[in-house]
Amino acid sequence: MNRFAELLDRLAYEPGRNNKLRLLAGYFREVGDPDRGYALAALTGALSFKHAKPALIRDLIASRTDEVLFGLSYDYVGDLSETVALMWPRAALAAHNNPPPPTLTEVVTTLRTLGKTELPKQLERWLDELDETGRWALLKLVTGALRIGISARLAKTAAAALGDKDPHEVELIWPGLSPPYLDLFAWLEGRGEKPVNRDPAPFRPVMLAHAIEDGDFASLDPADYVAEWKWDGIRVQAVAGRDERGQITPRLYSRTGEDITGSFPDLVPSLRLPGAIDGELLILREGRVQSFNVLQQRLNRKVVSLRLIKEFPIHLRAYDLLGDDENDLRELPFAERRERLETFVAKLGDPRIDLSPTVDFASWDALTAARADPASAGAGADADAVEGVMLKRRDAPYLPGRPKGPWWKWKRDPHIIDAVLMYAQRGHGKRSSYYSDYTFGVWTETENGDELVPVGKAYFGFTDEELLQIDRFVRRNTTEKFGPVRHVVHEGDKGLVLEVAFEGLQRSPRHRSGVAMRFPRISRLRWDKPPREADRLETLERMLKADESLPTIKVAGSADGH
């Protein structure tokens, strides 16, 4: 476990992809089975055991340390697992006769079978046996929060490098493999046959798009691209395959490969032709696509009742075909896949599955117009569920991951206002000890003349360098402290103006200003602008009126289709 922890620790700090690969490959080479297999599983998110709740970790540390000291430490470090790992008091055991620290295999296999009541004691034993880094990794693992900037793809690529194999090959057989991947490592090291994927309906890792920026267009030729609407739904992969007896196995996957077939039994009968469709899950009522808010009411339900199915009829809007019966189409150019898709959907002839239409455009100006007004550019009544356009290169194969260039997403323009920083609070996690959560306000007329009224909170959008600058500004311009919150100077000629971008506005009786922003983020620091020149509440009121005639745009954190 300590060796695995050491790897995680180093990976967490290493920004370079190639260096990460070297560290990973070095680990796979150095560490034997089955530890390395469980490490690969941990890094690819393939481990399954019941995760420990943060409350359990809090109880453990409370039993060993002073409550006030823990509180101050947690406030400083900002991460529960790390705080506990660092301040866990060394066990009072004698130096000799200490059990050796657990191996990763021991931890993983024990967690799989351990009863809930036995977990606290077991964790305590392990925490006593491990060092600081080991404790940190253990706590991250058991709480299911192992985020260290490694994609599953990167971990598989490092494994593939062990046998000089193409990572794509590992990717193709991956859905049929399970931890600790003895067969995979045997093949990679030339000691065994290539494992065969016997899953009749495997998940294919998805291809993702980059957000396009103004500067990107100059180097792109409209003729090279096909445009589609970007639907405000959920990206899914609908796969059907024949098992050994020739029976069709239908399966619906989320963009991360999670099997969500059970949540959409109403779509299953439509997946009767062997193939793999990449598309958007939507709710259709009387042929019209409903907003994401409507779709959301159908998601994350434990029980899918008949009523739910009837009220929220599910629909798949197809935009790519990755497999057609036995044929893997991913190497084909998009234009060819699109043709195959059209044939496939026509052959299927199912009302629940239709084609996502392409958007005709001859120039970027034409596309800009279509994006601004999807209703008159072909989306018609479905325009409410369009959140932008997608651009796909005609000649691009289907590449897992987020390659830059072949696919772009172009969302609708966000709103922008200039607001004044009013309060700041220290962040958590990476931002601990930095003032990184900002409450900002705009001017409004009151009995006492113009005053700032808070209109929102933002905690991202700025660069690391800007974070440092704001943090410094906050510390030097604090007028009052209330616990973790600092009042920052905000007067007509003293204060910091923040350019805030957001996706939409809503009326909100809970906010003093009467409006709430969706997805606000800091887009620029306006050191040049005196606070008195920041925007006024009236500006937001105007935007709100304009917004109310627009479709609902989804909130931060919701599933992003592309």
Partner 1 sequence: MRPQDILLPTADGLCCRPGKFHIDPIRPVERAVITHGHSDHARAGHGAVLATQETLDMMRLRYGENFAGSTQTISYGEEIRLGDTSVKFHPAGHVLGSAQIAVTCNGTCIVASGDYKDAPDPTCVPFELVPCDVFITEATFGLPVFRHGDAADEVNKLLASVALFPERAHLVGAYSLGKAQRVIALLRQAGYDAPIYLHGAMESITHYYQSRGIDLGELRPVMGVKKAALAGTITLAPPSATSDIWTRRFPDPVTAFASGWMRVRARARQRGIELPLVISDHADWDGLTATITATGAGEIWVTHGQEDALVHWCKSRGLRAQPLDLVGYGEEEESETPVQGEAEA
Which positions lie near partner 1, rule CB under 8 A?
A: 10, 12-16, 19, 22-23, 26, 65-66, 68-69, 72-73, 76-79, 82-83, 86-87, 132, 429-434, 464, 467-468, 471-472, 475
CB of 4 to partner 1, least distance (A): 16
CB of 87 to partner 1, least distance (A): 4
Ranges assigned E (strand) in 145-233: 210-211, 225-231
Rounded alpha-carbon distances, angstroms, from residue 476 to 113, 435, 482: 53, 12, 16
CB of 1 to partner 1, least distance (A): 18
Please report the DSSP string for 439-495 in residue order. Answer: EEEEEEEETTEEEEEEEEEE--SS-HHHHHHHHHHHHHTEEEEETTEEEE---SSSS
What letter does residue 362 receive in the DSSP assignment?
S
Range 153-157, long-range pairs (CB < 8 A, 24+ positions): 153/205, 153/400, 153/401, 154/17, 154/20, 154/21, 154/24, 155/24, 155/40, 155/43, 155/44, 156/40, 156/44, 157/21
Residue number, 6 or 106, with CB nearest to partner 1: 6
Residue number, 22 or 524, with CB nearest to partner 1: 22
Report how far residue 330's alpha carbon sits from residue 392's, in angstroms, rounded to the nearest whole number: 14
Residue number, 13 or 527, with CB nearest to partner 1: 13
Report how far residue 421's alpha carbon sits from residue 407's, in angstroms, rounded to the nearest whole number: 37
**Which positions ≥6 away from 175 have C-beta within 8 Å?**
197, 199, 202, 203, 257
Report how far residue 471's alpha carbon sits from residue 132's, in angstroms, rounded to the nearest whole number: 29
Residue number, 143 or 432, with CB nearest to partner 1: 432
Residue number, 103 or 432, with CB nearest to partner 1: 432
Q: Give yes or no for a contact between 489 and 495, defined as CB atoms under 8 angstroms apart.
A: yes
Residue number, 148 or 455, with CB nearest to partner 1: 148
Residue number, 472 or 507, with CB nearest to partner 1: 472
Residue number, 93 or 468, with CB nearest to partner 1: 468
Q: Give yes or no for a contact between 176 and 199, defined as CB atoms under 8 angstroms apart.
A: yes
